[in-house]
Structure 1
Amino acid sequence: MALEGVERTAAQIATLAADGHWHRYSAGPGAKGPRFYLWAWARIDTDDTDTTGGCRWLLIRRHPATGELAFYRCYAPAAVPLLTLVRIAGARWAVEESFQAAKGQVGLDHYPVRTWTGWHRHITLAMLALVFLAVLAAGRPGEDPQRVPLTLPEIRRLLAVLVLARPCGIEEVLRWSRWCRRHQAIARRCHYQRRSQS
């Protein structure tokens, strides 16, 4: 990509960013508190074949502890502030988490089929199961602020224990779920508090 008429790699552009160009912003909430990174951006040139206009940037994310860099090539029809690009880049985590949940909770990636029809049926049922779990989790208001709301893995575990096998009574299973979610809420508060102080 070109920066001020000179072809450079994204890593070369990142080395040109002075300390004053890095801004600490959160990419969104994480399991252990806000995901803070250092962000910089550079306006990059368009090539001669581009007729769409608009603005293009190289958005650079640096991990504050490890210094690991990640790059995003951004476009907007008009100029936007850095924080807007950071917020949009952070939204990709929700998409990735959804795919991870689909793989881990409903077996989206476990299809031993060889035909398109079989694959299509498997993917459709897996996505339907994920929607079912998500609706159950979203439709259940947080009954106790001292507990984490029901999550997809917890609902899946409860369904497996209550529907497929009952090694103990329903009250015992629900008591264990309440206890577990209460301790998760305490851990989340501690993580958020620690992250917010740093």
Structure 2
Amino acid sequence: MSTDGDIDPRLAPAIVHRILVVEDDPDEAVFLKTLLEREKYEVTIAKDGGQAHSMFVMRKPDLVILDLILPGSETGWEVCERLKTLEKYMPIVILSAIELEDSRNLAVRVGADAYITKPFDPDELLVRIKQTAQEVWLRSRAEDSTGDEIKPVRFSCRCGKRFKVAHQHRGKTLTCPNCGEPVLVPRHE
């Protein structure tokens, strides 16, 4: 019989609960929100780069779905680069109508982890969310194992109980001793 302590944390699946969708088209945003909520994701919608940055900082999503053509002064490429500066291991999936290879290459250079063109197959998006989260998780674990400084994770339960746990518990679910609710240990602070 094995326990959680016997499992290599690099092999544990990446867990995605909260998704930030950056999409200015209201119909597309509603479609994505409905699709993702049906799969039990918590979804926050941002309509431009400014909202994306604010929601990213406030909501601390587990993954970002990002359109490239946005209203305002920031493009999706700039938003991607800024979010990756804030959180190096944030999985970012580009969802754009731009099919040009140059667009894909620029997206990769600024930190995007996956690129899907519109119109898209909803099932493909759902699969890519899980794949991308897992790939980024494995990359982060590989770098952690190379001797980079590993800090404990600090977070709180909804009831207010504060936790500080070792990095190897990232992505796992614990039970809060105060209220008995399951609490997901964030992959990042």
TM-score (norm 2): 0.26
TM-score under structure 1 normalisation?
0.25
> Which of the pair has more CA radius of gyration?
1
- Compare the two structures and name the one with the higher helix fraction: 1
